[in-house]
Amino acid sequence: MQGKKVQQESLFIQFQLSDYVPADNFYRRLKGLLDLDFLYKATSKHYGKEGQKSIDPVVFMKLMLVGYLENINSDRRIITSSGMRMDILYFLGYNLGEDLPWHSTLSRTRKLFGEKVFLEIFKQVLKLCIDKGLISGKRQAVDSALIPANASKQSMVERIVMEDASVFSRELNDNIEDVPAKPETPKANNKNDQDKKDKKGPTNQTHYSPSDPDARLTTKPGKPMRLYYRAQMSVDTASHFITYIQAFKGNETDNTSLPEMLPQIMDNLSGGHVSPAREILADTGYSSGKAIRALTANKLKGYIPNPGSYKSSREDEGFKYDDRYDRYICLMGVQLPFRRVECAYNEPTVHKKIYESNISDCKNCPFKEICANKKGFKKLVDSADKPLYEYMRERVESPKGKLMKSLRSSTVEPVFGSLINYNGLRRINTKGLKQANKGMLIAAAAYNIKKLLACKPKRLKELKMPVIKAINGLFYRMYTLLFTQHYLSNPILSF
């Protein structure tokens, strides 16, 4: 006989949510693992003693984690999706039919809490990984990625601060009675100049985004020119867990960010049973004298290739360096002594050493036309941090350095791919640098949680043979000792 299901809702039902969430469910395991009760004390300063009750800080932070765990980049969708999942409701501490917080509450609360609260969440999750023995800590690979900001390039407006200053200065000059104002002469092709200026497009120096002033225009190979934030991240090479992440402005270079990153990396790994960081692996973008000095100051060994513009030797150009007198000597025997130290044009903190010949020495040189500059002498420029670059070059070109290069790319780049594609970091959904940093911290915490709950303890057969032999030897020695004591204590057996 064919059956037919007829739906009829029960008027009364006895239901307990915990009975319908399996013990091995992801969110049930996470609920028993993650303790966020410290948030009540950490966020109490943001609330008064009277008025309407706010969202529970623990519930808010769990909803933030759900968004990045489920790869949801919208506060509205976080609330909608959570209401349809029994396991998420159980994780949040809500029952069926109980109203979840309004989605706008998430945005307001995220702005209310400081960055330290989100950093503490990340560090607590990291500590859970350390306590499980999953993080080595000895070697960290760092890299960066551009994350699109929640702002459009087309919405950028021109900065008018300097224009207003020039107008004010011009008005002051017009009010000077002693000196008559000169009549302005019309400029030729003024319209064409304005058209050329418009075709160049906006830049960070001339334009900004009113909705997100911290976002910066930048690009890289394979990326379009648009407003970005830059995510700086370090990954443990032994386990691929994230040990550090922070948001920077999109146009901030990697080598200027590294000195700021190192102390926080050391601090994140300072607690628990983990080895302190000893080695830092990075690509060429992190190379600078300041970055190498920061590594030395933090007692870290770095493997960072020198930039392509760096020249270790000038012998291929026909100049040999004399380290005794700090000078260069060309093929014709002309000396280029050290003259002075100059600052780089766009980097005031970067210093260059200038070596120049005398005009009289190059006057009758047969190679003058192809060697000397327009003023009639030869000029060579070296970095003032050349000893540091040479030290790093020797490390990178060593057999271990070549191994570290391949290890870095195979460690940190897949982690960034997972964060962007599967942990809600494809695009920043907030405004401002601080809010972007909060989102990156929770995204990294969500990534570490996934790896933590996916890890299983190794079985005995998966252990290495030396470990098994050592265990067998220990049991054998214990058995021999007990048998000998029993034999000697029995007079009949000893006879």
Predicted confidence band of residue 192 (pLDDT cuts 50, 70, 90):
low
Q: Return the amino acid letter for 487.
A: Y
The dihedral sign for the CA sequence 60, 63, 68, 74: negative
Least confident among 14-23, 172-181, 411-420:
172-181
CA distance 231 to 254: 10
CA distance 445 to 451: 10
Residue 23 has pLDDT above 70, yes or no: yes
The mean per-residue pLDDT over the stretch 115-135 comes to 94
Q: Return the amino acid letter for 295.
A: L
What is residue 5's predicted lDDT score, i.e. its pLDDT? 75
**Digit-coded pLDDT (tens) for 90-103:** 999 999 889 999 99
Predicted confidence band of residue 246 (pLDDT cuts 50, 70, 90):
very high
CA distance 120 to 131: 16
Distances (CA, A) of 219 to 149, 216, 228, 253, 322: 13, 10, 8, 12, 41
Please list, residue by residue across 133-148, b when 16 or more beta carbons sit within 10 angstroms of its beta carbon and e when fewer do.
Answer: ebbbbebbbbbbbbbb
Q: Return the amino acid letter for 178.
A: D
Q: What is the pTM (predicted TM-score) of this model?
A: 0.82
Short-list 47, 70, 98, CA closest to 423:
70
Average pLDDT, the chain: 86
What is residue 50's predicted lDDT score, i.e. its pLDDT? 85
What is residue 430's predicted lDDT score, i.e. its pLDDT? 94
Q: Which residue has the higher pLDDT, 310 or 192?
A: 310
Count of C-beta atoms within a 10 Å radius of residue 186? 5
SS3 for the chain is CCCCCCCCCCCCCCCCHHHHCCCCCHHHHHHHHCCCCHHHHHCHHHCCCCCCCCCCHHHHHHHHHHHHHCCCCCHHHHHHHHHCCHHHHHHHCCCCCCCCCCHHHHHHHHHHCCHHHHHHHHHHHHHHHHHCCCCCCCEEEEEEEEEECCCCHHHCEECCHHHHHHHHHHHHHHCCCCCCCCCCCCCCCHHHHHHHHHHHCCCCCCEECCCCCCCEEECCCCCCCEEEEEEEEEEECCCCCEEEEEEEECCCCHHHHHHHHHHHHHHHCCCCCCCCCCEEECCHHHCCHHHHHHHHHCCCEEECCCCCCCCCCCHHHCEEEECCCCEEEECCCCEEEEEEEEECCCCCCCEEEEEECCHHHHCCCCCHHHHCCCCCCCEEEEECCHHHHHHHHHHHCCHHHHHHHHHHHHHHHHHHHHHHHHCCCCCCCCCCHHHHHHHHHHHHHHHHHHHHHHCCCCCHHHCCHHHHHHHHHHHHHHHHHHHHHHHHHCHHHHC
What is residue 459's predicted lDDT score, i.e. its pLDDT? 45
Q: Return the amino acid letter for 195.
A: D
Predicted confidence band of residue 16 (pLDDT cuts 50, 70, 90):
confident
Contacts of 57 (CB under 8 A, 6+ apart): 36, 39, 40, 42, 43, 109, 113
Residue 494 has pLDDT above 70, yes or no: no
Least confident among 63-67, 144-148, 188-192, 440-444:
188-192
**Digit-coded pLDDT (tens) for 252-298:** 999 999 999 999 999 999 876 788 899 999 999 999 999 999 999 99
Task: State percent of the chain over pLDDT 70.
Answer: 83
What is residue 171's predicted lDDT score, i.e. its pLDDT? 52
What is residue 446's predicted lDDT score, i.e. its pLDDT? 97
CA atoms within 13 A on the CB side of 53: 4
CA distance 110 to 259: 28
Residue 183 has pLDDT above 50, yes or no: no
Task: State percent of the chain over pLDDT 90.
Answer: 66
For the record, the structure tokens of 161 come out as: 């601060």
- What is the distance between the terminal CA atoms of the chain, rounded to a whole angstrom? 85
**Digit-coded pLDDT (tens) for 296-334:** 999 999 999 998 888 888 988 899 999 999 999 999 999
The mean per-residue pLDDT over the stretch 70-96 comes to 95
Residue 457 has pLDDT above 70, yes or no: no
What is residue 350's predicted lDDT score, i.e. its pLDDT? 79
Assess contact for 151 and 212: CB atoms under 8 A.
yes
**Digit-coded pLDDT (tens) for 329-374:** 999 999 999 999 988 776 766 789 999 999 999 988 999 989 999 9
What is residue 8's predicted lDDT score, i.e. its pLDDT? 79
Count of C-beta atoms within a 10 Å radius of residue 109? 21
